[in-house]
Structure 1
Amino acid sequence: MNAPGQPRRWTPTPLISGAAVVHAGALAALAVSPATWPWAAGGVIASHLALTAAGLWPRSALLGHNWTTLPESAGASIAITIDDGPDPDVTPRVLDLLDAHRARATFFCIGERAREHPRIVEAIVARGHAVENHSQRHRHNFSLMGPGAMRREIDAAQTTLGDIAGTRPLFFRAPAGLRNPFLEPVLCGLGLHLASWTRRGFDTRTGDAALVAGRLLDGFAAGDILLVHDGHAARDVHGVPVVLAALDTVLRAAADRGFGTLTLRDAILG
């Protein structure tokens, strides 16, 4: 088994292998009997629709391995993951809140934002948290990229974040969780693991911290990977980022249930 951070061999999933068989079968059918083109085209279209649907489902493992929960070795722990930062206003306040709860979190940082605020990234690491890869530019068309462009985008963030944090990321989270079949081979080549979440609070859209916390705590259990945001954070009627009150509620609930907090890096390194 490859050590975390080392390139590993890519193995296509049954869905990807099946799509390849459909494409090969369609070409063979056309070569033998061009009149079968409606059936061949229909099969190809259906396979593309299946691949697209899998890529639009962030928690799916149909395109490759995907961390949606912590491994059993994590025991009675949860993972708090925080996306889209660093943010000069919100991130320092989130760090103070985590300190108050003696909690550890995983920050999925955008490379360009990290370059703009390197001291905040350094503070994340200095205060015991992990910095992971959320792409260099967080492009909305990320899931439409080909393998070359996708690799350049992810590898640029690897370099940016590794230089600032002092350690290259071990995990990647796709912008908005959307991806395509090219992503897993790229991640394998870069020694990265895809991570999504157990549940999310939609705290970039909802200005009610109680509602955000309720979504995160619905079915709350050991092993959960929870998603909140320090970047693009929604604010309540008083202008306060909802992530602060929502995360405070979640961490209090975790303490009440005897759950610890664990970074994804700690979970994979054991």
Structure 2
Amino acid sequence: MNAAVAAPGQPRRWIPTPLIGGAAAVHAGALAALAVSPATWPWAAGGVIASHGALAWAGLWPRSALLGHNWTTLPESAGASIAITIDDGPDPDVTPRMLDLLDAHSARATFFCIGERAREHPRIVEAIVARGHAVENHSQRHRHHFSLTGPGAMRREIDAAQTTLREITGVRPLFFRAPAGLRNPFLEPVLCGLGLHLASWTRRGFDTCTSDAALVAQRLLNGFAARDILLVHDGHAARDANGAPVALAALDTVLREAAHRGLATVTLREAIVG
């Protein structure tokens, strides 16, 4: 879902999606039915359970826009460009090597950093920005139960990362990526209040669980085209038989193919905000 929306950076009004509005209507209808005829409770309960199942399924689909706006590709104005996004860092071993690789290709990338890791390695985060890349919000602690938290806890987690990354870089993140891409209906209202936009990806290489760099590159290049948003990792990186992070070799292959096709690399900020 990449329709025209307010630019990231400013708080905006939350507008429920049809799925969320429909689920609310089911709940209201169930309550009304029970008030009129308590004997309808099996049907009312079934409708509520089904609506919760639909919401849960939407939250388990990282590229879904059923719970709110989600950047899965760059806007048409990006033209012949792609976005490389790099998650779960900074990592003291992998991130500097990834920065060197990007420099070698004259490429720019968007790093979705974890706040706690940024606190541990602030010089690396500073280097990311100094070398022309963007730093965005990937939560403060990257907890695996993030998608199970309520709006208050979710806001505190995201806002803590906002503060951490802004203090280190001097720049306020404009985009958020949920840990593992998983979320719930509370996320979009929180992002609206913080002036953040959700960004997922067009495709990913599963480079945290695959030790074959060629296979990771193949996944990233399957259907490769202008306006793609690709996902690799500097944190939690899987390694090949020689101990090398597979993301490095895979990203090298992708960047060579991008150059061959005449595709430029841009940060999400450049492509979406301008």
TM-score, reference length from structure 1? 0.99
Q: Which amino acid aligns with 1:162?
A: R
Distance 2:177 2:237 in 1: 18
SS in 2 for 1:28: helix
The one of 188, 193, 204 aligned to 1:189: 193
1:65 aligned residue: 69
The one of 124, 127, 132 aligned to 1:128: 132
SS in 2 for 1:221: coil
* Residue 105 (structure 1) aligned with residue 109 (structure 2): yes
SS in 2 for 1:222: coil
* Residue 205 (structure 1) aligned with residue 209 (structure 2): yes
The one of 24, 27, 37 aligned to 1:23: 27
Distance 2:8 2:22 in 1: 29
How far residue 2 of structure 1 moved from its aligned partner, in angstroms, is 4.6
Distance 1:4 1:228 in 2: 23
How far residue 176 of structure 1 moved from its aligned partner, in angstroms, is 0.2
How far residue 4 of structure 1 moved from its aligned partner, in angstroms, is 2.8
SS in 1 for 2:143: coil
SS in 1 for 2:69: coil
Distance 1:229 1:69 in 2: 18
Distance 1:119 1:193 in 2: 26
Distance 2:16 2:261 in 1: 39
Distance 1:149 1:78 in 2: 33
2:84/2:267 contact within 8 Å kept: yes
2:100 aligned residue: 96
Deviations along 1:163-213, whole A, 9 cap, x unmatched?
Answer: 101101000000000000000000000000000000000000001100000
* Residue 234 (structure 1) aligned with residue 238 (structure 2): yes
SS in 2 for 1:43: helix
* 5+ residue gaps, structure 1: none
1:148 aligned residue: 152
SS in 2 for 1:122: helix
Q: Which amino acid aligns with 1:55?
A: G
The one of 120, 123, 133 aligned to 1:119: 123
1:224 aligned residue: 228
Distance 1:92 1:265 in 2: 22
How far residue 3 of structure 1 moved from its aligned partner, in angstroms, is 4.6
State the identity as a percent.
Answer: 88
SS in 2 for 1:115: helix
Distance 2:97 2:202 in 1: 24
2:37 aligned residue: 33
Runs of 4+ in 1 over 6 A off after TM superposition: none
SS in 1 for 2:239: coil
Distance 2:38 2:137 in 1: 47
SS in 2 for 1:167: coil
Q: Which amino acid aligns with 1:181?
A: P
How far residue 269 of structure 1 moved from its aligned partner, in angstroms, is 1.9
2:263 aligned residue: 259
Cα RMSD for the two superposed structures: 0.7
SS in 2 for 1:268: helix
Distance 1:54 1:206 in 2: 26
1:55 aligned residue: 59
2:8/2:175 contact within 8 Å kept: no
| Count of residue correspondences | 270
Distance 1:73 1:224 in 2: 13
1:159 aligned residue: 163
Distance 2:190 2:269 in 1: 20
